[in-house]
Amino acid sequence: MIPDPHSLFDIKGKVAVVTGASQGIGRATAIRLAHDFEAVALAARQEDELAKTAAEVKSAGAEPLTYALDLRQPCSIETLVQGTLDVLILKTIAQAPLHGYGIAQRILLVSQEILQVQQGSLYPALHRLERKGLVKSEWKASGSGPMAKFYSLTAAGRKHLQQEMDQWRRYSGAVDLVLES
């Protein structure tokens, strides 16, 4: 029997985190906690079963925050970094077309000089995004000298950016939950 969380600590505005939430004790725990918490973060490998648990959590009164992942497998730092750089680039050029150097400078400026993107990472990422149809390029006068290749988002790039920003917020929220625990 899971004790009443109210008797243990103040849970107002808190989020419960449950791993293995797609079945068994993880699922039962998530549903029980949904009666007391405003939100329950659910992590599990089985997406279809996770969706069922999320529906039960919602009907029990909590907001389900789902994370389909296998906690036994370490994240690939290379994939995480590459995906993060892609999102930073897409967000930067969503406001206006920029050339490569301008993208790097804008990221540096907005991040208060914390995120410095090197050319060796930036241009392969731009080319990869262009091959995927998320970015298009056009040669234009740069205003400060020779012609430069300016990058802008395609319609598919805008849609992808929104999806990636939503995913990033979910991911960073999950990291925050662990750091706050």
Residue percentage of the chain with pLDDT more than 70: 85
Q: In which element (H, E) is residue 15 found?
A: strand 15-19
Full residue range of the structural domain in which residue 97 is found: 77-160
pTM (predicted TM-score):
0.58
pLDDT in tens, the chain (181 residues): 555 555 555 666 677 788 888 889 989 998 998 888 878 888 888 888 888 998 999 999 888 887 777 666 654 334 445 578 899 999 999 999 999 999 999 998 998 888 888 888 899 999 999 999 999 999 998 777 789 999 999 999 999 999 888 878 877 777 787 778 7
Q: How far apart are CA 21 and CA 29, in angstroms?
A: 8
Query: Is the residue at 170 inside a domain?
Result: no
Q: In which element (H, E) is residue 109 found?
A: helix 100-110
**DSSP string over 132-179:** TTSEEEEEEE-SSSSEEEEEEE-HHHHHHHHHHHHHHHHHHHHHHHHH
Note whether 66 and 87 are same-domain residues. Answer: no
pLDDT tens-digit readout, 152-176:
999 999 999 998 888 788 777 777 8
Query: Is the residue at 179 inside a domain?
Result: no
Note whether 85 and 156 are same-domain residues. Answer: yes
Query: Is the residue at 180 inside a domain?
Result: no
